[in-house]
């Protein structure tokens, strides 16, 4: 017990926040789902996978699959939920249930993730997923502090296990990286002088092609200017359009002359 | 043409916002992934599934699977990306790429979902997912207005297809309430079929004017398609540009002939 506690503290000190989240699959039947859960964990930067009573064949198949990840090969197997969550200070069960009589507080994924994230700053959290057919049992729930559900559509609340894991971990990872998210790089917009040049060349092309009268007046020109402005061209694209239009005008003029 | 336009408008008027989102799977190989995509759609309340060149066996297997949903049985099959997105006014490609040289603006899922949601208030949006092995090609990308990626961990950026669909749709469903307040009047955007027409006529003008070689190939065409998409034309402006370009082409061709 002392050994366990020491080991536990050592892990806690060295473990980074994402490593403190344990995905616990209870009685999973399909090896593909175990593999899918591991893949989603790797996609979102989590590493601790635990299995409670998986069907032996399923676990073996998932582990031996080509390209089985380190997450999968290092996954730990437990005989009971109690064992699997023993070192966790917060235990959260997932459920699709709405009307089922729940004895636990039920939170939606989004606010729940915020709570889990806060908890990860200081402790280890277990996130439980039940079997494909039945989900978590009341017995499993009894180990949980509270439950959470993904806000699905009323007509089909039950998600595929691998997809449910992916969505939960996405939301948890999103919470962590919200602050560090890079802003999208916007292209440099074209200067007005460039937009004006494009308008002028376009006007010339439209006159040379007969689309506009040779002496079409200011209102036409303004309309055209607004049309070009609405394109919201980047500086780079403006240059390309200007080059294309100039070539077209050159060709139109060249052929008009005798 | 009139039939198409009427049908299109009829669909637009009757379609609710979630029905205006089309999940487009391009060259999907695994029937389980097609099924998983359909299941996630049903979980998050979306219904329009389109498949471009799926492996025949995959599509047949997915459709005939026990409990195949209405979404799956009503999924439409298309020969090309262009056909699958023809009635969509915003086309978004998904990618795991970060360092690959992308010719398109790349947004993260969260801000991207907000943009998509806003767009769904007035138009139809296509969300493209590539094949399991290769993702979307540059040719596929050329039909997109912009790309989006799920913020995955650097060590494993590539997600399982069904899980990627689930995460994207979760985020879009989550955004539903957020965007329903933003109802400022935006001009109706041009449909992809119109943008495609402009690209074709522009290509003709550039060839006739000598800007491009008469037999300039697919890469040039793709570059041009991206250039035109970046204009984000409204339906009204698209019509004006098409009229101008057609007149220019007519003039260029008339004068080339003896």
Instruction: For residue range A89-115, list pLDDT tens digits in order.
Output: 889 999 988 766 777 889 999 999 999
CB contact under 8 A, A240 and B227: yes
Helix (H), strand (E) at residue A202: helix A192-208
Q: Are strands A90-94 and B125-129 parallel, antiparallel or unpaired?
A: unpaired
CA distance B89 to B81: 14
- Name chain B contacts of A238, Cβ cutoff 8 Å: none
CA distance A140 to A148: 14
- Kindly report the pTM of this predicted structure: 0.75
Q: What is the interface pTM, i.e. ipTM, of the complex?
A: 0.74
| pLDDT for the residue A68 | 63
- In this structure, what token pair is assigned to residue B235? 């339906």
Residue B188 sits at φ, ψ, to 5 deg, of -65, 120
CB contact under 8 A, A43 and B250: no
CA distance A53 to B50: 39
Q: What is the CA radius of gyration of chain B?
A: 19
**Cα three-residue angle B23-B29-B33, rounded to 5 degrees:** 55
Q: Are A237 and B105 in contact (CB under 8 A)?
A: no
CB contact under 8 A, B43 and A159: yes
Minimal-distance CA residue of chain A relative to B40: A159
CB contact under 8 A, B244 and A208: no
CA distance B72 to B70: 5
| pLDDT for the residue B129 | 98
Distance (Å) from the C-alpha of residue A66 to the closest C-alpha of chain B? Answer: 15
- Name chain A contacts of B205, Cβ cutoff 8 Å: 248
Distance (Å) from the C-alpha of residue A2 to the closest C-alpha of chain B? Answer: 35
CB contact under 8 A, A227 and B234: no
Indicate if the alpha-carbon torsion angle B251, A194, B195, A222 is positive or negative. negative
Beta strands in B109-225 (DSSP E): 125-129, 146-149
Residue segments in chain A with a per-residue pLDDT below the cut of 70: 1-15, 65-68, 99-100, 177-186, 255-258
| pLDDT for the residue A112 | 94
Cross-chain CB nearest to A184 (options B32, B107, B156): B107
Cross-chain CB nearest to A211 (options B39, B107, B247): B247
Task: Give the HSE-up count for residue A190: Cα atoms under 13 Å, Cβ half-sphere.
Answer: 24
CB contact under 8 A, A39 and B234: no
CB contact under 8 A, B159 and A166: yes
Residue A2, classified by CB atoms within 10 Å of its CB into exposed (0-12), middle (13-18) or buried (19+), is exposed
| pLDDT for the residue B49 | 96
Residue segments in chain B with a per-residue pLDDT below the cut of 70: 1-15, 65-68, 99-100, 177-186, 255-258
Helix (H), strand (E) at residue A129: strand A125-129
- Name chain A contacts of B174, Cβ cutoff 8 Å: 110, 151
CB contact under 8 A, B151 and A173: yes
Q: Are B119 and B77 in contact (CB under 8 A)?
A: no
Q: Are strands B106-108 and A76-78 parallel, antiparallel or unpaired?
A: unpaired
Q: Are B21 and B172 in contact (CB under 8 A)?
A: yes
How far, CA to CA in Å, does A19 sit from each of A8, A14, A41, B97? 13, 9, 10, 25
Q: Are B31 and B58 in contact (CB under 8 A)?
A: yes
- In this structure, what token pair is assigned to residue B40? 């996630």
How many Å from the N-terminal Cα to the C-terminal Cα in chain B?
Answer: 34
Cross-chain CB nearest to A251 (options B151, B153, B252): B252
């Amino acid at each position: 017990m002392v050994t366990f506690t020491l080991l536990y503290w050592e892990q806690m000190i060295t473990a980074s926040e994402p490593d403190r989240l344990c995905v616990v699959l209870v009685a999973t039947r399909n090896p593909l789902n175990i593999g899918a859960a591991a893949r989603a964990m790797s996609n979102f930067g989590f590493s601790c996978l635990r299995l409670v009573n998986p069907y032996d064949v399923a676990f073996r198949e998932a582990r031996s699959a080509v390209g089985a990840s380190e997450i999968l090969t290092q996954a730990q197997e437990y005989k009971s939920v109690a064992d699997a969550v023993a070192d966790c200070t917060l235990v959260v069960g997932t459920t699709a249930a709405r009307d089922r009589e729940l004895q636990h507080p039920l939170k939606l994924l989004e606010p729940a993730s915020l709570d889990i994230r806060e908890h990860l700053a200081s402790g280890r959290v277990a996130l439980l997923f039940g079997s494909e057919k039945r989900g978590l049992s009341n017995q499993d729930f009894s180990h949980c502090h509270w439950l959470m559900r993904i806000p699905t559509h009323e007509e089909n609340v039950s998600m595929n296990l691998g997809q449910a894991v992916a969505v939960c971990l996405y939301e948890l990872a999103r919470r962590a990286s919200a602050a560090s998210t890079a802003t999208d790089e916007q292209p440099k917009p074209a200067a007005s002088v460039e937009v004006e040049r494009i308008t002028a060349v376009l006007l010339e092309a439209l006159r040379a092609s007969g689309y506009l009268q040779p002496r079409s007046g200011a209102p036409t020109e303004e309309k055209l200017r607004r049309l070009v402005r609405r394109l919201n061209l980047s500086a780079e694209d403006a240059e390309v359009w200007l080059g294309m239009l100039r070539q077209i005008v050159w060709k139109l003029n060249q052929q008009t002359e005798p």
